[in-house]
Structure 1
Amino acid sequence: MSLNIRLFFTFFQIGLFSIGGGYAIIPLIQQEIVEKASWISQKAFTDMITISQMTPGPLAVNASTFVGLQTAGLPGAILATTGCILAGVCISAGLYSFFLRHEDSRRLSAALNGLKSASLGLIVSAAASILLLAFTGSSDWTGPAAVDLPAVILFAASFWLLRRRKFNPILVMSIAGIAGGLLYR
């Protein structure tokens, strides 16, 4: 199977299971494009997630465009992005019709509560993976000696500025980017 067709179907699958949203889908994207296909490295994956958070659009769509462009150029980007979007459009149309017919169902409401809990678990897992990679440079915990103390301090300062001082997120990202550029030359 050609690379472009593999990109399309891989991102169609990712789009198909992106129901929990961007953060919930990070583990699946990582498994498919880093671990299984080896299209990008773990470091490039982390950079891609970071960049995807700063650019407009859903994370899975940004990831599909990035990976498609990196692996197969413009045709790969177009096919990967189309695969990712096509699944969401089909699911949304089907769900809209389904929910209109069953909007008063208690069982449906209970099932959706279960899905919310599973999505939360996926989001926490993705956050832990990203923090571990940012703080140690690896997705596996190797002990406290591997922790990058400047990265932890930069994270804590950014978190404090955003949550406690209510700074503008763009300003905090800019400051953190400059600090990171100075610290990690």
Structure 2
Amino acid sequence: MIYLQLFLTFFQIGLFGFGGGYGMLSLIQNQTVYNHAWLTAPEFTNIVAISQMTPGPISINAATYCGYTAIHKAGMGEWASILGSATATCALVLPSFILMILICRVFMKYMNTPTVQNIMSGLRPAVVGLIAAAALLLMTPENFSSPAINPWNFWVSIAIFVATFVGTKFVKINPMKMISWAAFAGLMLLY
């Protein structure tokens, strides 16, 4: 039964997740943490961090890890967890695969019509909203601590966030270097 729930959940996320991987993160978190309680908020945060560091699209990596973790927490064993990973990953990719096959020729034919251009213009704000929602959902006390609980960790986390934003946006430092430096700074916070 949990495999069917995983499939349907990630199929819906794949069907309605416009804006790429970062746009899907808020949908994945809402479904896996709040609706189905397969993961806790800190577990989801860890999955997002691992998904960003591993090669491939973040949404597919997150689906893979979420599927594995959901089955593993259900106590079904290692091979069952691997099947859960495959189920969630395939379900997330399947809607895009089907839709691209169905509309590829039609879209290429009508791509420059005003109706299609208006639809695309209407989707852009939704994509920005989904990405902003993903960023805001990750700004939690689990990630940044809290000034009331641990002011040192909170302000260091904020400093790392600002330094990473400024470094990538304005100074144009390679994002891979910024990820490495931020990971190193995060490890220093543990000690």
TM over 0.5: yes
Matches of 2:139 and 2:85 in 1, distance apart?
A: 28
Deviation at 1:116, TM superposition (A): 0.7
Q: Is the Cα–Cα contact under 8 Å of residues 22 and 59 in structure 2 kept in the other structure?
A: no
Tell me the equivalent position of 1:159. 165
Tell me the equivalent position of 1:37. 36
Query: Structure 2 matches for 1:119-158, cutoff 5 A?
Result: 119-133=127-141, 134-136=143-145, 145=148, 148-158=154-164
Matches of 2:60 and 2:106 in 1, distance apart?
A: 25
Q: Aligned residues: percent identity?
A: 34
Question: CA deviation digits over 1:28-87, x for unaligned, max 9?
Answer: 111111101111111111111122122222222111110111122111111111111111
1:6 has 2:5 as partner? yes
- SS of 1:45's equivalent? helix
Tell which deviates more after alignment, 102-111 or 156-165.
Answer: 156-165
1:179 has 2:178 as partner? no
Size of the aligned set, in residue pairs, is 178
Matches of 2:121 and 2:50 in 1, distance apart?
A: 31
Please report the TM-score for the alignment, with normalisation by the length of structure 1.
Answer: 0.86
Of the candidates 90, 94, 97, which is equivalent to residue 98 of structure 2?
Answer: 90
Of the candidates 56, 74, 77, which is equivalent to residue 82 of structure 2?
Answer: 74
1:16 has 2:15 as partner? yes
Amino acid at match of 2:27: L
Aligned-residue Cα RMSD (Å) equals 1.9
1:26 has 2:35 as partner? no
Please report the TM-score for the alignment, with normalisation by the length of structure 2.
Answer: 0.84
Matches of 2:21 and 2:93 in 1, distance apart?
A: 13
- SS of 2:139's equivalent? helix
Matches of 2:124 and 2:168 in 1, distance apart?
A: 26
Matches of 2:164 and 2:19 in 1, distance apart?
A: 26
Return 5+ residue gaps in structure 2 as ranges: 72-80
Return 5+ residue gaps in structure 1 as ranges: 138-143
Find runs of 4+ consecutive structure 1 residues off by over 6 angstroms: none
